[in-house]
Structure formats: C-alpha cells, structure tokens
Amino acid sequence: MLSHFSSFRLILVFVLSLWAPWSSAQTLALTFDDGFNPTTQPRATQWNAQMLAALHEHKIQSALFPSLARMGGVEGLELVAAWAQAGHLVGNHTASHRSLADPKVSLEWFISDVQAADAMVRDLPSFVPMLRFPYLKEGDTLTKRDGLRAWMARNGYKSAPVSIDASDWYYNLVYAAHLKAGDADKAERVKQRYIRHLLDRAAYYDGLAREILGRSPAHVMLLHTNQINAEALPEVVSALTAHGWTIISANTAFQDPLYAQAPDTLPAGESIIWAHAKAHNLPGLRYPAEDSVYEEPLLRDAGLVP
C-alpha cells in the first residue's frame, strides 16, 4: 500500500505533467487596427474580403479596432461591419487616431475622441468596450495616463493592450511601393522578410515575457488592415504555426490576467510586456519599442528600400 507521502508525490507528478505543456505553450491572438478606407484605398473591399477569408479558412476569431480617421468615417463602416458579422470582436481605436503622448492632445479632448468613435461602432453586434490606444501610447503625463484610466473604469471600458508589437505598417509601405513600381520580385522579397520579422518579434516578446513574468502568456499580436496583410495573412498563419505557435481567439487571449494590469511607466504604453520590463528597469530596452528606424537599415542593406 502506498504511503500518504507517496500518494501525494504521484498526484503532484500527475498535476505537473498536465501543467507543464500549458506553461510552455506558445499561444497568440491576431488583432488588427485601423480598418480600410474605400475612398482612399480603391481595393479596400477586396483587401477586407481577403483578410476575412484567410481568418475564416484557418478558423481564427480575431479583433478589429477601427479608427474613424483611418476608415474614412461612415465610408468604411460597412467593411468594419463585415468583421462583426463574421464573429470578430470590434473595439475602439478613437476617431482621429491622435497619440495621447502628444503634448498638444489634452485628456479632455482625447476622451471626446474616444466617445465619437464609440458612437459610430457601438451598435455593431460584436462590439466590445475595449480601447486600443493609437500608436500604443497611453499618455505622457500622470494626469493623462491616470485620468484616462479612471474614465475608462467609470464608463465600463477596458484597455486592449498588445504583448507582441511589430512594424507591419512600415513593411506595408515598402511592399506597396514596389508593387506600384511594377517590381513584383522585390515586393515578394519584402513579404518574405516581413514574415520573418513577425516571427522574430514574436520570439523576442515571448522571451521577454518569460524573463519578466516567469511564463509565456496568451499573447496578443498587433497588426493592421493593409495590403501586405491582405496578401500575406495565409503565409503568416502558416509560418507562425510551423514555428510552434498556436493561434487562439482574441476573446480567449484577452482573458489572460496580464491584460488587466496597468504598468507604472511614463511615457505610458508600448507592448505591455515591454512596459513591464521598463517598470522592472530591465536594461537595453529600445524606445520606441518598434519603429521603422530599426527596420529601414535592414531593408536598405538588402537593396529593398525604394
């Protein structure tokens, strides 16, 4: 007969065998900012449909955070509504897409901008009162940072942070420029480098999370509604899964306790993992965390900057 101690050890081993794979699993959700503008982007409807088709094919439930300025106001609302109808979360990315870290942007003005966007998208069936800060900037002063946090708490809003930040917007500019110039070969090379960039950033922020949090959280990756994602999304999903990532729903990812936290940093914002590392005074963090200033030399060295 097993002793009580031996029985306890067997139970402990069994529990750890269940917990260990979960604790080392790499999971992430794909989330997108901005929304397409049919007025300024002639292929907006096509690109929107491509992205939704890719997500549907891979059975991915995502989240879209539209900004009225980026989607052209009511002009892009029908395209945003298509995300809601497909079951993706729709949140708030403000009306004007102005940074709360801009000294010219007051707390009062920013709140009114959030409210203007809320009024536009609140009636969509999958709307969630979650705010994705433009440029991931959450305020350059305590007054703005804490004032906005207090307003959100009073009004039932939650933040929609990301853990994995990337520079897809810059790769999109370079990619689109090559296609416009008729150089499909260079565009393809940029796309392949872009996919490697996303893998690199996912690995970096997961490593940073393990160092700071002691675990791999349910990650939230920031991407944008743009041409490169419309045309590369199936390859992005395949590359992520081939490198050990499991793509989960945005709704599931945001349940991770990480996203309810509010790191004490100024200026506030960036990836929430980066912010935690900053709050812990981890040396060597670059600021801003992600930007074209880091990617442009890499593409220039490869002869891919137009």
Query: Counting Cβ atoms within 10 Å, is residue 296 exposed (0-12), middle (13-18) or buried (19+)?
Result: middle
Number of domains the chain is built from: 1
224, part of any domain? yes
Domain that holds residue 160: 27-301
In a domain, 3, yes or no: no
pLDDT of residue 142: 98
Mean residue pLDDT across the chain: 93
What pLDDT sits at residue 17? 35
Residues 82-111, mean pLDDT to the nearest whole number: 98
Q: What is the mean pLDDT of residues 100-112?
A: 98
**What are the strands, taking DSSP E only, across 78-233?**
89-92, 127-131, 137-139, 158-159, 218-224
Q: Evaluate if residue 19 carries a pLDDT over 80.
A: no
Token pair in block for residue 229: 């994602």
Residue 22 lies in a domain: no
Q: Could you give the C-alpha distances from 107 to 14, 69, 121, 160, 269, in angstroms and in order?
A: 52, 19, 22, 18, 15
pLDDT digits (tens, 9 = 90+) for 24-78: 589 999 999 999 999 999 999 999 999 999 999 999 999 999 999 999 999 999 9
Q: What mean pLDDT comes out for the span 185-200? A: 98
Cβ atoms 68, 95 nearer than 8 A: yes
Residue 270 located in a structural domain: yes
Distances (CA, A) of 279 to 195, 284, 288: 30, 13, 15
Q: Classify 103 as helix, strand or coil.
A: coil
Whole-number pLDDT of residue 6: 39
**Lowest mean pLDDT segment, chosen from 21-35, 111-125, 227-241, 279-293:** 21-35
pLDDT value at residue 25? 84
Assigned domain for 13 exists: no
Given this model, what pLDDT does residue 16 score? 36
Is residue 12, in this structure, part of any structural domain at all?
no
Would you place residue 4 in the very low, low, confident or very high pLDDT band (cuts 50, 70, 90)?
A: very low
Q: Are 159 and 259 in contact (CB under 8 A)?
A: yes
Q: How many CB atoms lie within 10 A of CB 55?
A: 22
* Rounded percentage of the chain residues whose pLDDT exceeds 90: 92
Inside any domain, residue 242 = yes
Does some domain include residue 9?
no
What predicted TM-score, i.e. pTM, was given to this entire model? 0.92
Residues 141-170, mean pLDDT to the nearest whole number: 98
- Assign residue 241 the CATH number of its domain: 3.20.20.370
